[in-house]
Amino acid sequence: MRNSRLRTAVATTAVAAGSAGLLAGSLYVVHAEGRSGGQEARLAGDARAGRPATGQAAAKAARIAGRLGDRTTGAYVDPSGRPVVTVTNATDAAAVRAAGAVPKMAERSPAALRRVTGALRSAFSDIPGTGWAVDPATSKVTVWTDDTVTGARMAAVQRTARRMGAAVRMVRIPGSLHTLALGGDAIFGQGARCSLGFNVERGGQGFFLTAGHCGNEVRTWAADQQGAETLGTTVDSDFPGNDFALVETEQGAAGQSAVDLYNGRAQPITEAGEAVVGQRVFRSGSTTGLHSGSVTATGATVNFAEGTVTGMIQTTVCAEPGDSGGPLFAGGTALGLTSGGSGDCRTGGVTFFQPVTEALQVFGARIG
């Protein structure tokens, strides 16, 4: 996999004995620098404690927002942990309240925000290091640029943002946004390494998900660099546009889905769900192990050097090269597949994930 400004994260799998099947994560436990054993244990404990409180609120917010469809600008979990759903009329506000969430009147209509994002896509979707997402809490579109966007390109982004007026908020992201691909060890193929995301099944057959930028490069995956232990074969891959791939497992039978917590234990994954702004989430990957953070945007557009990916989950969870394709989850709920971002797990950063629900729908699969 080639290096790029916006990088993708390629990671590995762990093979469990018996019915556990393939665990999402890494063959090697590599803890992030600076994290004590006690901190690592507490983090893994949090990940195994069932769905976090914000996960319950997020699930409710996502469910209600889904019913409203185009009549909402989105949903989020507020700092006190309450599910909040944006609305544009009193009737919907009453329905949201009756469903157990907090309604918030949007300052701009969903149609107005779609016009803004459409204008941004037309203006600079070909400028790597840029992206945008609707912020449901403010009814604005957050536009970000990384440190590689300078000179004429930065001027073009700023001109477009100024034309949008108060509907746009500009944010500078330190470092460079890039996919997190890496040649090395772990789930191997054609000199690349990626992380397994989630075990899934289709028609009784076993498969697993990983990142599309991984699947584009690798057809046959192995658990070792020499290729002696074959894991499976890529049967479908989509990147850019989306960032997911489907791999048919070597053993054929569908396996249980679980995530490696890098402490000798695993978190069973029993369902797939939608991420919501403000939700606490966890990510597992072969380079950096287990890390947590919060969702800062959904439906995000990211302009990688290889092309544009839409509908992404943006988070504060760190990731590094080798983590691509790894799972984003909350308790037993699968949320996403690691795609790319900026920064690292020493200084922090911004990371983007492909929603797993879209991958399952496209492939006609379900969590194993």
Q: Express each pLDDT in 161-214 by its tens digit.
A: 999 999 999 999 888 887 654 332 367 788 888 999 999 999 989 999 999 999
* Model confidence, pTM: 0.83
Q: How confident is the model at residue 265 (pLDDT cuts 50, 70, 90)?
A: confident
Of 128, 157, 177, the last residue of a domain is 177
**Same domain for 158 and 126:** yes
Number of domains in the chain: 3
Contacts of 262 (CB under 8 A, 6+ apart): 25, 26, 29, 30, 31, 40, 44, 284, 289, 290
61 located within any domain: no
Separation CA 181–CA 190 (nearest Å): 12
93 located within any domain: yes
Are 132 and 314 in contact, with CB atoms under 8 Å apart? no
**Same domain for 298 and 357:** yes
**Same domain for 346 and 231:** yes
**Same domain for 167 and 130:** yes
**Same domain for 237 and 96:** no
- At 353, the amino acid letter reads F
pLDDT at 318: 95
254 located within any domain: yes
**Same domain for 38 and 168:** no
pLDDT at 49: 62
Could you tell me which residue, 333 or 22, shows the higher pLDDT?
333
**Same domain for 171 and 235:** no
Output the domain CATH number for residue 248: 2.40.10.10
Of 177, 204, 228, the last residue of a domain is 177
340 located within any domain: yes
pLDDT at 302: 95
pLDDT above 50 (res 6): no
pLDDT at 53: 62
Flag the least confident range among 73-82, 177-186, 248-257, 291-300.
177-186
* The pairing of beta strand 192-194 with beta strand 199-202: unpaired
pLDDT above 70 (res 19): no
Please identify every residue annotated as catalytic: 213, 243, 324
Could you tell me which residue, 255 or 266, shows the higher pLDDT?
266
**Same domain for 152 and 85:** no
Give the domain extent around 173.
110-177
**Same domain for 340 and 282:** yes
Tokens of 206: 């076993």
Separation CA 98–CA 170 (nearest Å): 36
2 located within any domain: no
pLDDT above 50 (res 26): no
**Same domain for 332 and 212:** yes
20 located within any domain: yes
246 located within any domain: yes
**Same domain for 284 and 209:** yes
How is residue 184 annotated by DSSP? S
pLDDT above 90 (res 25): no
pLDDT above 80 (res 291): yes
Could you tell me which residue, 308 or 251, shows the higher pLDDT?
308
Q: DSSP secondary structure string, 239-304? A: -SBS-EEEEEEEEEE----EEE-SSS-EEE--EE----BT-EEEEEETTTEEEEEEEEEEEEEEEE
128 located within any domain: yes
> In 3D, which of 235, 187, 134, 150 has the Cα closest to residue 26?
187
**Same domain for 342 and 266:** yes
pLDDT above 60 (res 280): yes
pLDDT above 80 (res 7): no
How is residue 204 annotated by DSSP? T
Of 131, 160, 177, the last residue of a domain is 177
